[in-house]
Amino acid sequence: MKFDLNWQKYKWCAVTLIVFGQRKRAVEMFEDMLRDYPHDSYALGSLAHLKAELGDKTGAIQIYQRLVTQPDAPIYAWFNLGFLQQELEHPVDAEFSFRRALELNPKLDQAWYGLGLALIQQNRLEEAIVALERNTKLQPMSPYAWYQLARVHVDRQQPEEATKIIQHLKGFEPKFARQLERETGLNG
């Protein structure tokens, strides 16, 4: 398909529209492209991304769901699908999507984080701890999983574990540490 001139025309027109800030017109271009190439992963992924960016998260989910049924579905499609599902508070669906992304790449740190959030939404805190700890091992300097991990320990009545995390965060992200101290009443 790379050498199909019609496909190339669609792609470059859509990219040009995006460069010039014409995202709604780019959506139309990708929709036209999908009429001629209904299973094109590039068009599906780009269209889903644009729909999410323009605020149509439900539409983006529908497009990502089409994309993940493709035999060559990229890992990012599962991750982005999970992210949108989690954001729209569909934690069971998000969990499935993040787990699928992790089957394809167990080192995808953001998928571990997303899985942790989906599990928190389902009040499955022990499992959330495991997912968040995997994220912190893969991304030790990112404060987000550490923050969520501390919150989960507080919810599980484990203030000593949360205090350890606050102390750890003070070493590289003092703003997050102070925020946790304010929110939890703990001193790290």
Mean pLDDT calculated for residue range 118-145: 97
The pLDDT, as a whole number, for residue 81 is 98
Least confident segment among 28-37, 53-62, 67-76? 67-76
Global pTM value: 0.91
Q: What share of the chain in percent tops pLDDT 70?
A: 98
Strand (E) or helix (H) holding 46: helix 41-53
Distance CA 63, CA 118 (A): 21
Residue 52 tokens read as 């999410």
Whole-number pLDDT of residue 145: 97
Q: Does residue 1 have a pLDDT over 70?
A: no
pLDDT band at 54 (very low <50, low <70, confident <90, very high): very high
CA dist 52 → 31, 118, 129, 153, 163 (Å): 15, 19, 29, 33, 37
What pLDDT, on the 0 to 100 scale, is given for residue 29? 96
| 146-171 pLDDT tens trace | 999 999 999 999 999 999 999 999 99
Per-residue confidence (pLDDT) for residue 3, from 0 to 100? 62
Q: How confident is the model at residue 73 (pLDDT cuts 50, 70, 90)?
A: confident
**In 4-25, which positions are buried (b, 16+ CB within 10 angstroms) versus exposed (e)?**
eeebeebbebbeebbeeeebee
pLDDT tens, 106-127?
A: 999 999 999 999 999 999 999 9
pLDDT exceeds 60 at position 2 = no
pLDDT at 84: 98
